[in-house]
Amino acid sequence: MKSRPFAGTLAALLASFPTTAATVVDFADFGDCSTLQLNHDAVCVDDVLRLTPALELRDGSAFPVVPIALGADAAFSTAFSFRLHDGGGPFADDSGLGADGFVFVLQPLAATATGDGGDGLGYRGIANSLGIEFDTFTLSTSATEPNGNHLGVDLDGSTDSLRAVTIAEAPLNDGGIWYAWIDYDGATLEVRASRTPERPAGRRMSYLLDLPATLGGTTAFAGFTAATGGSYEAHDILRWRFVDAYAPIGEDRIFHDGFERATFAGEGQEDW
């Protein structure tokens, strides 16, 4: 499959933004994706980033064309909303129809990076990387998957998660909007996810990590991968913000209907 840059927008550094937390990626929607590299089946359509359509045997990835220079400890904060929908195919698991899921990725290789399809989630095989997987299909041969509806911490292009947690309240791919927050303070990675736009006080999971050692440096491409197999679903990213410092996004509220407001700990407010 071919790789191609696509129409899009990557927000420039906001001159008025607090100097302690410079926004380097800011998509209120994906109506314009000209600064994203879209690979394989990824497209921007209807103001969303669609990593795969709801068709079998598809995979896609998306990364900004310009890598991000992180600080010495590679700290970062990111938040995004997503919708996984129109699941189908011949196979179902304990979470119902739909497969396989998507991954938020930091990797130093290239904006064109892609991994294996199917249960590889478009991520498996991307070396020197961090992945947070949102997995929607049970791989019966893997001892690291609790079920077909979980989050996981992946390293070095492996989908054998080092930490995983079940999402109990609803299937990730039930067609509703989900919200996610991922923060790394230079030592500890924390992952939050919710059906509501308020940032949860409690984390879903955490993991101690030397991210510069994993990446082999502090320059990385931040983005997403996804894949389908014999069963499928559409993987849509709706909105996304990434900050090149530990500055948890939405300490009060985030992702309001039709408009988003992000609040940074210890700072004022910025509108998305």
pLDDT tens across 164-185, in order? 999 999 999 999 999 999 999 9
Q: Which helix (H) or strand (E) holds 104?
A: strand 101-107
CA dihedral 14, 15, 21, 26 (to 10 degrees): 0
Structure tokens that stand for 108 in this block: 């130093």
pLDDT in tens, 31-79: 999 999 999 999 999 999 999 999 999 999 999 999 999 999 999 999 9
Q: At 24, is the pLDDT very low, low, confident or very high (cuts 50, 70, 90)? A: confident
Q: Which are the contacts of 272, defined by CB distance < 8 A and separation ≥ 6?
A: 26, 28, 239, 241, 254, 259, 260, 261, 262
By CB neighbour count within 10 A (0-12 exposed, 13-18 middle, 19+ buried), where does 168 fall? exposed
pLDDT at 143: 63
Mean pLDDT score, 262-271: 35
On the question of pLDDT at 262 being above 60, the answer is no
Cis peptide upstream of residue 156 (ω within 30 degrees of 0):
no
Q: What are phi and psi of 217, to 5 degrees?
A: 155, -165
On the question of pLDDT at 257 being above 80, the answer is no
| 252: number of Cβ within 10 Å | 11
Q: Which are the contacts of 259, defined by CB distance < 8 A and separation ≥ 6?
A: 271, 272
Under a CB-based contact definition with an 8 Å cutoff, are residues 183 and 148 in contact? no
pTM score: 0.86
pLDDT in tens, 191-240: 999 999 999 999 999 999 999 999 999 999 999 999 999 999 999 999 99
Enumerate the domain spans of the chain.
3-8+21-261
Cα distance between residue 156 and residue 200, in whole Å: 28
Structure tokens that stand for 47 in this block: 């103001």
By CB neighbour count within 10 A (0-12 exposed, 13-18 middle, 19+ buried), where does 49 fall? buried
Domain 3-8+21-261 has CATH 3.50.50.60: no
Share of the chain above pLDDT 70, in %: 82
